[in-house]
Amino acid sequence: MHDTLANAGMSPKDVERAFRQEAQHVFAASPGGAFPPESLPEVAFAGRSNVGKSSLINALLGRKKLARISGTPGATRAVHFYDIGHRFCLVDLPGYGYAKLSKEESARIAGWVEAYLSSRRSLRLVCLLIDSRHGLKDHDRALLHHLAELGLEVQVVLTKADKLHPTQQKAIMAQMHDEMQKMPAIAGVTLTASEGLLGIEELQMRVMSATLS
């Protein structure tokens, strides 16, 4: 990661400034519709409903309301594209595992996410968000195995770490590093909290490095 940034002549401050450039929501692809043309490197954010994808995107960008945060799990049904300074795109994927959606609706959304993941040549990295209080669930493991089959690189992002005691933070990180040995698709693990910005600079650097590769 650091070698890639250094080769591009980017310091941590340069990376931070890149994430503070003009950012705008440019496209919402609903199930059955078209995705936008591929022009910029993309980093996608996936995870269970209510894991904090929109909050994390806002924290990365130093914004409060760019990515819509809903109090209702499962509310995000489209694939949302955010153009960051015309350098790269962050892509917010619909959450999975929300029990109140019908099986038909869940399958339709899952098929749409699959269509995105399997077709985007501009996709450089998938950030798989995991609630640090609960660890990996069956849905997460299934997605990890599928991402490995697609040959996609995955950064596990542990969210809501501010809810944990430091000893619990160390324990979940140790657990995830053990998981990395079993799942080669996992390239790294970052412990984050949107409140307090824990791990945000590290994740910014990881995302930027992926978009430069």
The pTM score is 0.92
* Tens digit of each residue's pLDDT (9 = 90 or more) over 47-106: 988 899 989 999 999 998 888 765 555 456 789 999 999 999 999 998 887 655 567 776
Residue type, 123: L
* Tens digit of each residue's pLDDT (9 = 90 or more) over 139-188: 888 889 899 999 999 999 999 999 999 999 999 999 998 988 888 788 99
Q: What is the largest CA-CA distance in the chain?
A: 49
Q: Which of 127, 102, 146 is nearest to 52 (CA)?
A: 127
Buried b (16+ CB within 10 A) or exposed e, 16-29: eebbeeebeeebeb
State which fold the 2-212 domain adopts: Rossmann fold (3.40.50)
Q: Which of 97, 2, 80, 95 is nearest to 43 (CA)?
A: 80
The pLDDT, as a whole number, for residue 198 is: 94
Neighbouring residues of 110: CB distance < 8 A, sequence distance ≥ 6: 96
Query: Do residues 50 and 95 lie in contact, with contact meaning Cβ atoms separated by under 8 Å?
Result: yes
